[in-house]
Amino acid sequence: MNKGIFLDRDGTINIEKDYLHRIEDFEFEDGALEALKIFQDLEYKIIVVTNQSGIARGYYSEEDLALLNDYMIKEAKKEGIEISAVYYCPHHEEKGVGQYKIKCECRKPNPGMLLKGIEEFKIDPSQSYMVGDRKSDLEAGDRSGIKSILVKTGYGKNNSDQLEGKYPVYENLLAFAQSLTKKD
């Protein structure tokens, strides 16, 4: 069985920008690449799980998202980091249009994307983490049997007071990664 780090994308790996879909607007959070390298060095599979309601709302296409995710993966690879998978949910039950207006199991806080990663990469949930900046990220981790971690980047800076105590809270992804080096 493998260990996994499941990561929300927007506000955790990259700077939160509403409905981010253009490569020129993508910026890694400070220390994010260093954090990913630490996870990899500790032999965690790195799996990104991201809600993308901008697709559901018709703001951008799945092709636009694929280009952006490919860019993120290539930038990580330049640093010697392998992102094992990027799963995304293009649905929104209320605000979606057309085929994307459905109730699904993949939209966090539902665990669908995490369960897919657990199965595909033979992940041991008891040795794995879900890291994100929103309550929905943490609840998806809970529903998957994975320990959940809140970072104070993105929306996490506004959510940390209400979630601290229930979940461990770190300043950013790098601070969490560094904490793992002390445990392993």
Q: Which tokens is 49 given?
A: 């799980």
Pairing of the two strands 147-151 and 85-89: unpaired
Omega prior to 109 cis, within 30 of 0 = yes
- Of 8, 41, 70, 137, catalytic: 8
Q: Which tokens is 182 given?
A: 């002390």
- Of 10, 64, 161, 184, catalytic: 10
Give the phi and the psi of residue 72 in degrees, each rounded to 5. -60, -45
Question: In which element (H, E) is residue 113 found?
Answer: helix 112-120
For this structure, is 137 an active site residue? Answer: no
8 and 137 Cβ atoms separated by less than 8 Å = yes
For this structure, is 161 an active site residue? Answer: no
Which positions are annotated as active-site residues?
8, 10
